[in-house]
Structure 1
Amino acid sequence: MPEHVTTPLLTLITTRSMDEDYAHVAQKRAAAGDDGPQATRPHWSSLLAVAVLGLMAAVVAVQTDREAPAEELSRAALVEQIDNRSDQVRALQSQIADLNRSNAALASSSTKNQGELDDMETRVRRAELVSGFSAVHGPGVRITVDDRPGGEVDGEVLDEDLATLVDGLFAAGAEAVAINDQRVNALGGIRNTNRAVHVNGRPVNAPYVVSAIGDPRTLQARLVETYQGQQWFARVNNYGFVYAAENVDDIRLPAAPERVLRDVIELDADPNSGPEREGSSP
């Protein structure tokens, strides 16, 4: 590197100032024809420059001494702030790690709960299907049943006849059955009121359309093999009922009407604590 870059500023100023003074004196001597060295007194400007430089050096030294304690305090304060911020950063990093672990645990628990919820929803849908409390559709068999032609009383289809046919369809593998769009389930039932047939408490009229969702390839054949199916076909032959069956690609059945349970008692409960029936003594 050049010498003027590495030389201290105060030394550089002093040296250059004195070199300029010597150069000025040498020029005056050369103009006067005096080449030999002569003992002369220093030029007044040189003395002034030396004095100014000395004063500047003293001021710089005093200023440096005064600022040293302040700089030391500032440095100590910065070091303390750095240490404090470092502790805060470590604390935040620890909190982040705890939150990440908590989030992972919550995600795992959520996944498990979601799986259990999906399983429960599947079981509820299956229970609704079996119990008849949800609308369903699918392939199956549509059977049309009517009274014997001629209007004879002994040729009318009764509730017990339809109940036998429905029981046979369930035994043959039907998953859902309806009569004239009235879904048949355990809480509904088929009843005769005088000469009218009621399903779920609502009257249905002949011809009776019995729709059953199941495998259409086997449902009719398996119906003949069941005990209830054999009883049904025996009645068809004995009473002359009209019977026609066809396979259907898509049958839509409504949900059964909901009914309020009034006298249900848990299996492990005390039967004496159940609701009192009409006419029972206290």
Structure 2
Amino acid sequence: MPDTRHARAGTRTDLPDHVTTPLLSLITARSMDEDYAHVARQRAAAGVVRESPGRGRPHWASLVAIGVLGVMAAIVAAQTDREAEVNELSRAALVEQIDTRRDEVRDLQHDVGELTRSNAQAASNITTVQGQLDDIDSRVRRAELNTGFSVVHGPGVRITVDNRPGVDVNSEIRDEDLAILVDGLFEAGAEAIAINDQRINALGGIRNTNRAIHVNGRPVNAPYVVAAIGDPKTLQARLLESSEGQEWFALVNGLDFLYTPQNVDDIRLPAAPERPLRDVIEENADPDGTPGGGGNAP
């Protein structure tokens, strides 16, 4: 069988280039060649002669552009150096300011800590003082209640006492009768008492002037309204059990007084009138007030 490989190879070498060249390369080459040929024909028709690369002269615009670029590069370099120095100085100044501000913040934090501790101590002192003031205020209120120099209100008993119509003078209610009733109410647990809105206290008193009764030096007329603040559930019962209460009810029954008790949810009693302090002499002082004498207070 004859060898056909060489014959086929020889035949392929005899084919033209446009047959053996790959299709993509052929299309690209022919397209570029046709473009070059078209441009060449246009230049020839216009009478433009293409200069050879070796014979061209540089354009002045290019030289000027190169010079300008060089000058600009130098300016930029110089400006960069100056900005670098300025930036370095600015950085140093900023670092110094940061250190200064850090020290100031540290001092302020120390001051804040001291003020916080001072405020805590002051708050503790205020709490202590406020507690003392509350205790003193409570003691003052109790003292005012006991002495009668403050307005008070609360539940209690209101007792109305009067004479029978047509009773003779010897059977009328007298100061000592009302005093027995007041003592019995205090013994029964009354906290504050007033007769016809005249508060009873240690400095006041119930006195008879002829037929008129005076409380705290002021006249009061029948009917006598005795208002006592206390527990209304037990006050009347305990009054009956007390010795003064039994004496009072004996007077009521014996002299035929009109007696009307009434429990009240809220009774308001005025404060007792204040009395000016009278002149006093120190104990063991002379009558003229000189200490060391043998005189006594009147």
Q: For residue 32 of structure 1, what is the aligned residue in structure 2?
A: 49
CA spacing shift, 1:150–1:60, aligned 2, 3 Å = closer
CA spacing shift, 1:258–1:63, aligned 2, 3 Å = same
Instruction: Give the Cα separation in 2 of the matches to 1:215 and 1:254.
Output: 19
Q: For residue 149 of structure 2, what is the aligned residue in structure 1?
A: 133
Instruction: Give the Cα separation in 2 of the matches to 1:126 and 1:275.
Output: 36
Q: CA deviation at 1:130?
A: 2.2
CA spacing shift, 1:264–1:132, aligned 2, 3 Å = farther
Deviations 1:76-102 (A, max 9, x none): 222222222222233233333333333
Instruction: Give the Cα separation in 2 of the matches to 1:240 and 1:140.
Output: 25
Larger relative contact order, structure 1 or 2 (CA cutoff 8 Å, min sep 6): 1
Deviations 1:148-189 (A, max 9, x none): 654433312222221111000000011111111211111111
With structure 2 as the length reference, what TM-score do the two structures score?
0.69
CA spacing shift, 1:168–1:60, aligned 2, 3 Å = same
SS of aligned partner of 2:97: helix
The answer as to 2:283 corresponding to 1:271 is yes
Q: CA deviation at 1:126?
A: 2.7
Instruction: Give the Cα separation in 1 of the matches to 2:258 and 2:206.
Output: 19
Q: CA deviation at 1:276?
A: 6.8
- Greater radius of gyration (CA): 2
The answer as to 2:119 corresponding to 1:107 is no
Q: Unaligned stretches of 5+ in structure 2?
A: 1-39
Q: 2:192 aligns with which of 176, 181, 184?
A: 176
Give the residue type in structure 2 aligned to 1:201.
Answer: G
Give the residue type in structure 2 aligned to 1:105.
Answer: Q
CA spacing shift, 1:70–1:229, aligned 2, 3 Å = same
Q: 2:179 aligns with which of 163, 180, 195?
A: 163
CA spacing shift, 1:48–1:237, aligned 2, 3 Å = closer
Instruction: Give the Cα separation in 2 of the matches to 1:169 and 1:112.
Output: 39
After TM superposition, the structure 1 = structure 2 runs for residues 1-282 of structure 1, keeping only pairs within 5 Å, are: 32-33=49-50, 38=54, 42-147=58-163, 150-262=166-278, 271-273=283-285
**Percent same amino acid among aligned pairs?**
68
SS of aligned partner of 2:99: helix
CA contact (8 A) 1:263 1:275 kept: no
Instruction: Give the Cα separation in 2 of the matches to 1:208 and 1:67.
Output: 106
CA contact (8 A) 1:263 1:274 kept: no
Instruction: Give the Cα separation in 2 of the matches to 1:118 and 1:139.
Output: 25
Instruction: Give the Cα separation in 1 of the matches to 2:68 and 2:157.
Output: 121
| Number of residue pairs matched by the alignment | 248
Q: CA deviation at 1:199?
A: 0.5
CA contact (8 A) 2:164 2:256 kept: yes
Give the residue type in structure 2 aligned to 1:32.
Answer: V
Give the residue type in structure 1 aligned to 2:267.
Answer: I
Q: Unaligned stretches of 5+ in structure 1?
A: 1-26
Moved over 6 A (4+): 274-277
CA contact (8 A) 1:188 1:200 kept: yes
Instruction: Give the Cα separation in 2 of the matches to 1:52 and 1:141.
Output: 117
CA contact (8 A) 2:194 2:269 kept: yes
CA spacing shift, 1:167–1:47, aligned 2, 3 Å = same
CA contact (8 A) 2:204 2:215 kept: yes
CA contact (8 A) 1:148 1:155 kept: no
Q: CA deviation at 1:44?
A: 3.9
Q: CA deviation at 1:196?
A: 2.0
Which has the larger displacement, 61-70 or 209-218? 61-70
